[in-house]
Structure 1
Amino acid sequence: MSSITRRGLVLGSLGAAGGLALGGCSSGSGGPMQLELFQFKSEAIKLFDKICEQFNAANPGTQVNQNFQADNITALRVRLVKDNFPDLITINGDYGYGSLAKTNVFYDFSKTSLMEAVQPGIGEILPTLGTGGEGQVNGLPFANNGSGVIYNVDVFDKAGVKPPTTWAEFVELCDELTAKKIDPFTWGFKDNWTGAPMFSSISAGHLTDGVAAWYAARAKGEHSFTDLLPVMEKMKKLAGYGNKNKYALGYNDANQAFAKGEAAMYLHGTYAIPAIRSYNKEINLGTFATPAEDAKDTKVVSGVDVALTMGVEPRHEAEQLAFIEHLMKPANLKAYCDEQVAFPTLKGMKATDPALQGLVPYFDRNQVSTYSDHNFPQAVTLNAYMQQFLIDGDAKKFASTLDEQWDKVVSRLQRTQ
């Protein structure tokens, strides 16, 4: 099937007809070519403006202008309907990215050499979510996060404890902290998505053949979510430790409580670190990967926090690729990662923030797993079911519900493709 026909199907599914115009427009008055950077990170607006300004100064024939859109998946679908796809796109590497990539609306970067500079383990993440065709690379990983355990180094030191390396040690640590009247964790389950980092982190050590491989098989009707009952039981175990008001606190409340030193650990992604520090600039943070039963199976869960892409048929391909090459320069990656406490994606680059050093060795050894929850179609509403499970503790019901909802949603999606 040709890419034009495939894109026509995308538009048809969105209730629109006609062709798809990609790219931006050049000035009709002889001025510089205008390109739009469709950018979704509110906390990085100033930095992307600075990067655009640097590129524009070095390339007077091209003007890249940032357009911030927080809910960019929805906005991108609207732009598809309007035949007005952005020239340059930053996007989160989750299920939403994968679902769009499968419809062949994104450029294939395998035609370029840009992926050669990307760390291999990180480079494997986006294709597992979806591609426009076999062997395609439809997004470039710009910055990664890591999900595991953030801990208060000063609380650990005062209690005389160290990060665990196995699941048994992890439970022993929680018991020891509880005995010393220190809350092991801060939880904020009022926001239903906040159980997902724990689900993904524990899944990474349990699905030893690979998280992405397990979900790919599940999409074919193989396996059952009962395979993840041990993961769910571990979630229930950890959720039993920590603050008693866990269902009254949301994510921001939990960030603030942890910043105040009210607990020893916070099971979240490194994306939470800037928020925690906003409440306490002096807090001394460390990280470790959520331990598996056997230390050799422990992996850091990592997602492409920011991916770079553009339309499948860019009208100004050379200029658009030039800007993406500019974004992927080590100096720009370092500036972003230092500011946002993220992991750089290029070979030879490492995170420099002290709080991230506990996770760096896992990236060095390629002990990296994708997020389990990134593999769920949005219509499954995983977070709502997970929040209910954390309240009632019924793991078998949770697994059964996921099987039922997954099969229903995936069957419907397959019929419409």
Structure 2
Amino acid sequence: MAADAELSTRGIGSSPEPAPAPSSGPPETAGRPVLRLWAAIAATATAIAALVLVGLQALPERTGPPIEVLVVERTDLSIGRIELTVRNVGPDPVQVAQVAVNDSFVDVVGGSQEINRLETSRLVLRYPWQEGQPYTIALLTSTGVVIEHVIPAAVATPSPGGILGSMALLGLFVGVVPVVVGMLVLPLLRRARPGTVGVLLAVTVGLLGFLALDGALDAVEIGALSGGAFGGPVLVVLGATLAFLALTAVDALVGTGPDRPASGLRLATLVAVGIGLHNFGEGLAIGTAYAVGELALGAALVIGFALHNLTEGVAVVTPLATQRARLLDLAGLALIAGAPAIPGAVLGASVTNPELSTLLLGLGVGAIVRVVVVLVPAVRTRPGGTVSPSALAGIAGGVLLMYATGLLVTA
């Protein structure tokens, strides 16, 4: 009876107790793949280091004269003085022995010590230059190499402290004001037909595409002034890639993608960010040019930049044509798109650095390209994702509009 009770308690049809799971081994075996990975990385690094050391010893010594390359990154002119900031972009050290201005040797302070690769040196020339006259400066190195630098028209360099206020005001006029004026078309956009709004979005794509190309060309031109010391045009690609990846990461964090298109306000914010970075680079170029006396400030310049940037305000508010936005949101968009021109102009007037300018312009290019990628799906109105002829015409119109207004800029 006791056996029957035990059977009834367990249940005749009950399944046997599950067998214990097999042991996965001692805990230290779980970390073996990671240890193997680090061991492989260490072995690879050791092999590469050994190969480099052996290769350097096996290479024959270089014959021939040293390769000396100096580039003039900045020229400052004051009464009776010409100051040059030079950088060694060649593989060998350079020592400046003598300096001649228009074939006349002059007294020079600085440059007597060797300038190693990528280092800079400041040369102060005592020379009674005259305003508006051209000058050719010849740097004679200790090995007899002559490196020339041409000043097309000598102009006294304004002191940074006296122009920062003017640069901030100029950035306000060419950045914030035209963007705000362009955004005033928002009430008209809301009364437009959906097809018209789609064409305006296509125009926005054309505007931004032109800005990206224009910014890339400007960045490459400024990068060439550095003599390729830190990559030159490569800095444009680096900055554009970093900005593109950063905005892509932000889109992923906020949940924007092909399956979840951006809302009107979010899309307008992306457009404002791209334009703002471009205007920062634009202000940087203005400040730099003014600091070295190569920018003719005047009413024509301000009007030209204002008309050129007027269309940017329209591009910012176009995604809001079908969505209500608060006045505070519109003010924020205007500041994001236009205000960066102010610190850009101030920074350009106070710090002249071709490498920094190139990198910042590259950031603007990458941001604009990312915004174009986000805008393109909104332009595709046909089934199958194709672009209608009206949208193509709008893109072409945006490019031509920016080209036409760009001709008004005399900087």
**TM-score, with length taken from structure 1:** 0.23
- Scaled by the length of structure 2, the TM-score of the pair is 0.23
Structure 1 or 2, whichever has the larger Rg, is 2
